[in-house]
Chain A
């Protein structure tokens, strides 16, 4: 993992976290180095979700800032034993994106007399942010699985292969493929869980 050279190497001597779990634990305890580490690790995930959902880099910057500020101030609501930090951050991201869209439609309402048809338009347009967050989050969580589980699930998801076909392609016994798929799916669900308080 690249931590950006000697400067960061030096801080790591003072216990800068190196695993996602360490980052999450330190974050919950209020360790500022872990806020920086969390930003370094998931800042682009949060920003990309906001930027895609909002289609506006100024608003996305604002949302990304609010997510980390809100997460830090609300860290008492985050329990590492109950969910992952990226899951929690993405929960807050959903909330802030929805807020930004609300503000946008309120601004629009202020600017023009809104017909019912126009109001419906925005509602339809707002249906996708959750899907964007989900897709980014599932990719993020997939990358976190063991190689074997990730490979089997990627073939299941993206190549739409049956477990038998995966066994043929990989040369793994069918039973092993099934085990990887099951364990991987369960681990993926666990990683994607957003803990209580994510929407605060």
Chain B
């Protein structure tokens, strides 16, 4: 039963509960128009204590497409935050007006605090560098949409695998399905941290490929998840410049891949995927953004208990 629940961490829901959301999302993707009044009369609050236009648009579009309304703030200066109100008080006030709340906050654990005080469902839309469960929901739904399964897939991950929380959550989420293999391609400085590796179930196959060209390994992948190297993660500019372009997916590299590969990216990209790849039908990073909105529609409907 998902009605009334919060989504704070990627693993708050079991694979069976995730499947319930994915099934509804797939129906929504096939006939979006059938759902335009599902949330009529309901209000979603978007509490964005730090700006994230992309995530906020995705949530707001999802609620509007379900026939609901949206209230909220998009930056802290204009809000109660500026007056020093606590998260606990803000969420209890907002819950008087709205049926569901979406929160983004720079502090780690903030969504968990909100959930502890909230009588309405809280969705974590990013708490600092900590969790971002609807990105994981988006990634999984994209994989399911294109592959119709999770079991037995070979997932390639490429780029910054050290700091990218999206990648860590995806590894942990996919590791819950049997027979999934990972191929991790990164520079030596940006490999998957040990604590992520240590937390994986026994028998989970992970191949770490360090400082080797992507083209040597792309041929065995069902999915290639590209990430960008973020400047703010580096103390010195020289390291950033050296590492930022070390893996670039272009047509030449992609020509080594299987015909049924899908290329994913959480967006925005910098230059790790060449524009020349965009027209290839294996490139699904823009459809991925649309699927993310649809996954959020299904999530909202399930938490509100209206589906």
Chain A partners chain B: no
- Which positions in A face B, CB cutoff 8 Å? none
